[in-house]
């Protein structure tokens, strides 16, 4: 799945503190979100967009959470509940 034009906030693309793979993960979550709350995102689903393992996904989500773009909770190994800010 390739994204060319995503309707995500432009400030995330300009933010130099966020790695490229974290930006792609955020854009996937943002485009999939219903009413700004996403449940049942797993590593396998994200791997279709970015070649990443669970530890890398967790680190990317942690960076995005620290910068107040989202809030996440890992409720099972590799399964995440995410709320966008």
18's CB contacts (< 8 A; 6+ apart) are 12, 26, 63, 64, 67
| 3-state class (DSSP) for residue 79 | strand
Task: Give the integer Cα–Cα distance in Å for 11 and 82.
Answer: 20
Q: Which domains does the chain have, with CATH numbers?
A: 13-84 (1.10.10.10)
- Reported as a single tens digit per residue, the pLDDT across 10-50 is 888 888 999 999 988 888 888 887 666 776 788 998 898 88
| 3-state class (DSSP) for residue 57 | helix
Task: Give the integer Cα–Cα distance in Å for 27 and 22.
Answer: 9
The model's pTM is: 0.83
31 versus 61: the higher-pLDDT residue is 61
Query: How many CB atoms neighbour CB 78 within 10 A?
Result: 15
């Amino acid at each position: 799945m390739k994204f060319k034009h995503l309707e995500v906030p432009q400030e995330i693309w300009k933010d130099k503190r966020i790695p490229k793979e974290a930006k792609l993960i955020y854009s996937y979550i943002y485009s999939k979100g219903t009413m700004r709350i996403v449940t049942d995102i797993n590593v396998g689903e994200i791997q279709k967009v970015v070649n990443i393992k669970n530890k890398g996904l967790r680190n990317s989500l942690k960076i995005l959470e620290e910068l107040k773009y989202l809030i996440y909770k890992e409720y099972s190994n590799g399964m995440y509940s995410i709320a966008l800010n």
